[in-house]
Amino acid sequence: MRNKIRLLTPGPTPLPERVRLVLAQDMIHHRKSVFKETLHALQGKLRTLFGTQEVVLPLSCSGTGAMTAAVHGLFKPGEKVLVVEGGKFGQRWRNIAQTRGIECVTLEVPWGEAVTSQAIQEALTKDPSLRGVLVQASETSTGVLHPIKDIAALTSKTDVLLVVDGISAVGISPCPMDDWKIDCLLTGSQKGLMLPPGLALLALSSRAWKKAEEISSDCFYFNLPKERDNCLKGQTLFTSPVNLIMGLNESMDMLLEADLDELYRKQWALTMLTRTGVQALGLDFLAPSHFTWGLTSVRLPSGVSAPNVVKMAAEYFGVYMAGGQDHLKSSVIRIGHMGWLDWADVLAGLHALQYSLVQVGGYSASRDYLEQALNAYHHALLVQPGQAIPPAHS
Ligand SMILES: *Cc1c(COP(=O)(O)O)cnc(C)c1O
């Protein structure tokens, strides 16, 4: 008999039944009142999630569309930006910016490490003509969490705009936009938000809105000021992704059922569960210190092929994990633990990993990895409400 499918991939992630039922409802018209009311109701929820007083725009595109909208809306051809490049998605920032004719200064970071705020400071000091910093909150290709709060503390003292790809961070680990003084924060629907792919969200600080209004975007589809005017009327510029918006309204209710701290604590606890289990299996991490809370990237012992392990875990257990990217394709496995997943799903992932390693790699590992992982999970959850969870880059 077939197994239940468990998506432990770093996006798309599994969908809760409550959201699926909303997605399955009859189509409604996007210019009529029910839709407008939903979009208005969503604003408050999205502002809570983003930690901002500003409008949060729904965009009808995947996450990369929102990255594109940010670059086109905030910078002119010929302007210069600093790109933090420590993985695939950092590279994507550069590719998008260069396509727009923006000059990129690349700050290269070894894959698996986080950029330091000192390195950002040096780059900004060295080149006063930089107009923006483009960075990931969580670099999903490596599982690294960049120190956004520290970077924002630098950029907010200058007129350099900080543009943050929070696609695998929003709803997963704290990234309060206004508190930290982020100028642009964006995310996609298929990671922490428990929705199918195809919807993105983007918010700008007030000074970023000023810049966006100054720039005449040469892009017909993505026009942030026009999109904002529509959004304030409960509308989107073009036909709305109606089902995804209705689904988002439901998933936001689920995410905000308790408070955000509780959501982040759960993500932290799942991260501790995964990391403890992986460590008990005798494996190393690609991101040993600055790690994200939505996925864990694991280095496999030499000679064990990641694609084979991933394949066996999927075929034998119904557990879908991801391999590494580029040069890490065959040596790294990424275990996603974001979205509608709980401790039992992640334990299933650990077991599928262990079993597949033994079968495919002839690897032998301790047997109490599951117990150790569960202990770490319970320990992490014991953090009392209101008590700070460990700092974002502990
Ligand atoms: C998934 C992801 C993207 C890409 O999003 P798409 O929806 O595939 O366009 C970009 N950046 C990060 C950090 C991601 O995790």
Per-residue pLDDT of the chain (394 residues; tens, 9 = 90+): 689 999 999 999 999 999 999 999 999 999 999 999 999 999 999 999 999 999 999 999 999 999 999 999 999 999 999 999 999 999 999 999 999 999 999 999 999 999 999 999 999 999 999 999 999 999 999 999 999 999 999 999 999 999 999 999 999 999 999 999 999 999 999 999 999 999 999 999 999 999 999 997 778 999 999 999 999 999 999 999 999 999 999 999 999 998 899 999 999 999 999 999 999 999 999 999 999 999 999 999 998 999 999 999 999 999 999 999 999 999 999 999 999 999 999 999 999 999 999 999 888 877 799 999 999 999 999 876 666 676 544 4
Distance between CA atoms of residues 254 and 257, nearest Å? 5
Which residue carries 């974002």 as its tokens?
A: 392
DSSP string covering 68-88: HHHHHHH--TT-EEEEEESSH
Cβ 61 vs Cβ 201: under 8 Å = no
**Do 375 and 303 sit in the same domain of this protein?**
yes
Interacting residues of 245 by C-beta distance below 8 A, sequence separation 6+: 35, 38, 39, 42, 58, 199
Q: Is any ligand 1 atom within 6 A of the Cβ of residue 150?
A: no
Indicate which atom in ligand 1 lies nearest the CA of residue 168. 15
Considering the domain architecture, whether residues 249 and 301 belong to the same structural domain is answered as no
> What CATH number does residue 342 fall under?
3.90.1150.10
Domain that holds residue 187: 17-255
Angle in degrees, CA 27, 242, 54, rounded to 5:
150
Let me know if residue 82 belongs to a domain.
yes
- Measured from the CB, is residue 168 less than 6 Å from ligand 1? yes
Ligand 1 close to Cβ of residue 116 (< 6 A): no
12 lines ligand 1 (CB under 6 A): no
89 lines ligand 1 (CB under 6 A): yes
What is the per-residue pLDDT for 1?
65
334 assigned to some structural domain: yes
In a domain, 5, yes or no: no
Residues 214 and 83 in one domain: yes
Tell me the two tokens of residue 329: 């394709």
Q: What is the pLDDT of residue 394?
A: 40
Q: How far is the CA of 317 from the centre of ligand 1 (A)?
A: 26
- C-alpha 278 to ligand 1 mean position (Å): 25
Domain boundary among 240, 255, 270: 255
Do residues 278 and 366 lie in contact, with contact meaning Cβ atoms separated by under 8 Å? no
Nearest Cα residue to 239 out of 35, 84, 12: 35
Nearest CA to ligand 1 atom 6: 63
Please say whether the beta carbons of 140 and 89 come within 8 A: yes
Residue 19 makes CB contacts below 8 A (sequence gap 6+) with 194, 195, 247, 250, 251, 254, 340
> Quick one: the chain helix, strand, coil %, rounded to 5?
45, 15, 40
Decide if 386 is inside a domain: no
* Residue 169 Cα: closest atom of ligand 1: 13
So what's the pLDDT on residue 158?
98
CA distances for 162 relative to 165, 184, 208, 324, 325, angstroms: 10, 6, 9, 28, 26
CA of 69 to the centre of ligand 1 (A): 14
Structural domain contains residue 284? yes
Look at residue 362 in the predicted model and tell me its pLDDT: 82
